[in-house]
A = this chain, B = another copy of it.
Amino acid sequence: MQKLDLSSDLDSRARDVLREVIIQHISTGEPISSRSLAKCGRFGLSSASLRNVMADLEDLGYLAQPHTSAGRIPTDRGYRFFIEHLMTSRALTRREREAIDDEVRHANEIDDVLHHASSLLSKLSDQVGIVFMPTLLQFTVRSMDFVQIAESKIMCILVGMNGVVVNKIIGTRQPFSRDELEKIGRYISVEFSGMTLDAIRRQLVRMTEEERALHDQMLQKTIALGIEAVNDVAPVEHELYVEGTSSILMKPDFADAAALRRTMLALQEKEKLIDILESCLDEDGLQILIGSETDFTQVHNFSLVARRYGSSQAPLGMVGIIGPMRMEYARIAPLVDYLSRVLSRKIEEGELQQ
């Protein structure tokens, strides 16, 4: 089909033209004509010559015309080439960097951090900010504490190895003394430290069948409470923050009602978004999915710029932005990159609460 090494397809003039077309199109949103390229002065060529170059670029699949007698717009492939070979990322401004630092520094609860991160990202990029945290299935326990908070309610506090804190309330029938609760907490913390919630549950269930448990009343209580504690925590819902959908409403790319509608619906279809983000979790660096690469079925002219966050051994989730293909990648890529790094550092330092 096409040559694999895209970088060799194009001579330097063609690259310059492609770059200029994309830059102009990103800033105006309009199809770019040969004339407007000639006028920009960067080439010293007439519009007729540029037309030839553009026709070549179209043949190679980097540009397309919405209709005959319209200018050219970049294709998915054009953007892809631009991002990989032509773009020079803009450094963050001090204000951007400080905004991110501040936002992340001041939050304690992980929910808060993620929520703020997505809305900050949305504000800085003027696109839709998304932050995704998958289920805690691989959550490994460092310690567990139990606190009586009402007559028949006990709060269980789970601290994970990664510093994430989860708590839940358990209803109980039998009474527990303060002392018992402390003992149970200590016992579980010691015995099950480093295990996943699922493993703990299975272990506890197995223990109920052992002979000793039948006689040791304290152990019975421990098991009962322990099972309650880990039940229903593990398959906690995926958390997905989608912030700033209004910013996208204003973009001229969504002039007509149908497109607007489709877009809003797509952004609210969380399952699909989660699918996409989950499939990105394996990759390491900054990821940019363009147009059809995103697997958005209803809406095809969207791009995703995202990066994994969390400690390097135990990635937590994805953070990024979604916007029309026509976006300022040069500005947005470093933004997402930086935020994800700051976020990861914060999480490695630990002690974030859920």
Footprint of B on A, CB under 8 Å? 108-109, 143, 145, 147, 149-150, 152-153, 155, 157, 159, 163, 165, 167-169, 171, 178, 182, 245-246, 249-250, 254-257, 260-261, 264-265, 268, 350-351, 353
Partner pick for A265 among B155, B167, B246, B256, CB 8 A cutoff: B246
**Distance in angstroms between the alpha carbons of A108 and B260 in the assembled complex:** 37
Copies, count: 2
**Distance in angstroms between the alpha carbons of A155 and B145 in the assembled complex:** 11
Q: From A108, which residue of chain B is reached at the shortest CB distance?
A: B169
Task: Assess whether A155 is in contact with B149, with CB atoms less than 8 Å apart.
Answer: no
**Distance in angstroms between the alpha carbons of A108 and B342 in the assembled complex:** 33
Task: Assess whether B260 is in contact with A246, with CB atoms less than 8 Å apart.
Answer: no
Minimum C-beta distance from A172 to chain B (A): 11
Task: Assess whether B153 is in contact with A155, with CB atoms less than 8 Å apart.
Answer: no
* A254 partner residues in chain B, CB cutoff 8 A: 257
**Distance in angstroms between the alpha carbons of A338 and B246 in the assembled complex:** 32
Minimum C-beta distance from A176 to chain B (A): 14
Instruction: Evaluate whether A165 and B147 lie within 8 angstroms (CB atoms) in the complex, with A157-B155, A257-B255, A265-B246 already known.
Output: no
**Distance in angstroms between the alpha carbons of A163 and B157 in the assembled complex:** 18
Partner pick for A150 among B108, B250, B260, B350, CB 8 A cutoff: B350
